[in-house]
């Protein structure tokens, strides 16, 4: 088994954006079936999204008959469909209250090329006919916007200049474009020896992760600064942390830096993978602090931060019987696998990946009470609009 795993090409040597995706399909470990917590967290932040949408200038120049919304990092579950529907209905209501005939709406669902767009498109409700488009805007079970998928990294340009009215991105910007090269380079001072995540790592490793986050978020802002219309707005949500210490990754740290980390160590101790193989794998996630996020936005200079807060999202696990340790362990393992399983399989193969997540489940089951008590996510929530002195 170990030999088979060793033949797989390491993730660090692959183009991450051609590989990274949440687990597709509709199976037990799929993102579609393990994103209920994200849905609850998103619902709890709808009042903040409404504030951002109320800042959009619906009388701004451009095509007055078309309003375009984008969800960046849409993944393959129903959450993205619900948020686009919410945005379209809210903006349509604003037009109605202002006595302006609503325009047609266009929505782009964007994610990396490896995303399971097929499953996503199957979740889209049918498009209402032009004859009843306006009347059906608030109707359940219908879609009142034209939809399209846009594959590509949101750290680069994806859309024509000044073509988008609203950008929405939730639970995605903490994913880095790549694992910092120095983190998996054995001769580097930032080499993350013995670990598969930044949580609990050394200072130089943490600095490498932070530098990568700064470069990625900077690229994201530059791209959106060219694509967003004047008067448009962005609503961004990503995993965050309350600690100033970047090696304390909060909820992300508990998800990937405890039982997931220990499961990798189990495979090494059992001789199923080598220590070098383990050390060549790192989760490309960085949960920023408010200050981390603010520094990048201010350095870019194109946007005003209408709101920048830390929001307590709660646990990423949804269990029907909290006292059932087996269910808690299974939910923890499925949550890990739904977001990192594709990367793990690419690094050590399907058989060893199954072994790894089996051990994750066993460990989380043994520590079920601790998991439920301590696994809490915090989110950075940012509402951005163009600065009057924008460079773009």
What's the pLDDT tens digit per position in 206-259? 999 999 999 999 999 999 999 999 999 999 999 999 989 998 888 888 888 899
Read off the tokens for 342.
Answer: 């594709």
Query: Which pLDDT value is given to residue 211?
Result: 95
Tell me the two tokens of residue 81.
């469909």
The pLDDT value given to residue 336: 87
Whether residue 260 contacts residue 375, with contact meaning beta carbons closer than 8 Å, is answered with no
pLDDT of residue 17: 66
133-162 pLDDT tens trace: 444 444 456 789 999 999 999 999 999 999
The average pLDDT across 123-129 equals 76
Q: Residue 341: phi, psi to the nearest 5?
A: -60, -40
Tokens for 328, please give them: 């808690």
pLDDT per position as a tens digit, 331-369:
999 888 888 888 899 899 999 999 999 999 999 999 999
For 143, the 3-state DSSP assignment is strand
Is the separation of the CB atoms in 371 and 332 below 8 Å? yes
What average pLDDT does this structure show over 293-306? 96
- The pLDDT assigned to 4 comes to 39
Burial profile 263-296: b = 16 or more Cβ within 10 angstroms, e = fewer: bbebbbeeebbeeebbbbbbbbbbbbbbebbeeb
Q: What percent of the chain has pLDDT over 70?
A: 84
Q: Which domains does the chain have, with CATH numbers?
A: 2-386 (3.40.50.150)
When mean pLDDT is compared across 35-39, 291-295, 362-366, the lowest value belongs to 35-39
Mean pLDDT of all residues in 291-319: 91
Q: What is the pLDDT of residue 87?
A: 96
Identify the band that residue 77 occupies on the pLDDT scale cut at 50, 70 and 90: confident
The residue-averaged pLDDT of 92-109 equals 93
Residue 180 scores a pLDDT above 60: yes
The fraction of the chain above a pLDDT of 90, given in percent, is: 58
Query: Of the candidates 11, 7, 263, which has an alpha carbon nearest to the alpha carbon of residue 114?
Result: 11
Confidence of residue 9 (pLDDT cuts 50, 70, 90): very low
369-379 tens-digit pLDDT: 998 888 888 99
pLDDT score of 132: 47
Lowest mean pLDDT among 12-16, 226-230, 297-301, 335-339: 12-16
Distances (CA, A) of 95 to 63, 105, 140, 308: 15, 12, 20, 27
User: How does DSSP assign 145-188, residue by residue?
Assistant: SEEEEEES-TTS--S-TT-EEEEEEES-TTB-SS--GGGS-TTS
**Torsions phi, psi for 73 (to 5 deg):** 80, 45
Predicted local distance difference test score (pLDDT) of residue 338: 83
Q: Name which of 25, 42, 55 is nearest 84 in CA terms.
A: 42
């Amino acid at each position: 088994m170990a030999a088979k795993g060793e033949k797989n090409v390491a993730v660090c040597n692959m183009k991450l954006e051609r590989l990274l995706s949440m687990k597709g399909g509709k199976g037990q470990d799929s993102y579609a079936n393990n994103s209920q917590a994200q849905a609850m967290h998103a619902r709890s932040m709808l009042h903040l999204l409404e504030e951002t949408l109320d800042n959009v200038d619906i009388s701004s120049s451009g095509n007055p008959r078309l309003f375009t919304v984008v969800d960046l990092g849409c993944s393959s579950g129903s959450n993205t469909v619900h948020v686009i529907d919410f945005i379209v209905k809210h903006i349509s209501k604003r037009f109605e209250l202002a006595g302006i005939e609503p325009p047609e709406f266009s929505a782009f669902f964007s994610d990396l090329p490896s995303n399971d767009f097929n499953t996503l498109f199957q979740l889209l409700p049918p498009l209402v006919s032009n004859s009843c488009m306006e009347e059906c805007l608030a109707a359940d079970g219908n879609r009142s916007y034209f939809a399209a998928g846009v594959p590509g990294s949101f750290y680069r340009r994806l859309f024509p200049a000044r073509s988008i009215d609203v950008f929405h991105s939730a639970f995605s910007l903490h994913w880095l474009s790549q694992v910092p090269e120095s983190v998996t380079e054995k001769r580097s001072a930032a080499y993350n020896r013995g670990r598969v995540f930044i949580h609990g790592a050394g200072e130089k490793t943490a600095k490498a992760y932070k530098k990568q986050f700064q470069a990625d978020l900077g690229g994201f802002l530059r791209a959106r600064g060219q694509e967003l219309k004047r008067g448009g707005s962005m609503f961004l949500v990503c995993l965050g942390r309350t600690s100033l210490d970047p090696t304390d990754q909060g909820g992300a740290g508990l998800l990937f830096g405890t039982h997931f980390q220990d499961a990798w160590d189990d495979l090494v101790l059992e001789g199923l993978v080598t220590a070098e193989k383990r050390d060549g794998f790192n989760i490309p996630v960085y949960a920023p602090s408010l200050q981390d996020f603010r520094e990048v936005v201010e350095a870019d200079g194109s946007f005003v931060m209408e709101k920048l807060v830390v929001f307590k999202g709660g646990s990423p696990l949804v269990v029907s019987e909290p006292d059932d340790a087996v269910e808690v362990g299974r939910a923890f393992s499925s949550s890990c696998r739904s977001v990192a399983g594709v990367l793990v399989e690419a690094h050590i193969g399907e058989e060893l990946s199954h072994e790894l997540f089996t051990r994750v489940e066993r460990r989380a089951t043994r520590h079920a009470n601790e998991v439920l008590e301590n696994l809490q996510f915090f989110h950075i929530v940012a509402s951005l609009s163009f600065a009057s002195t924008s460079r773009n």
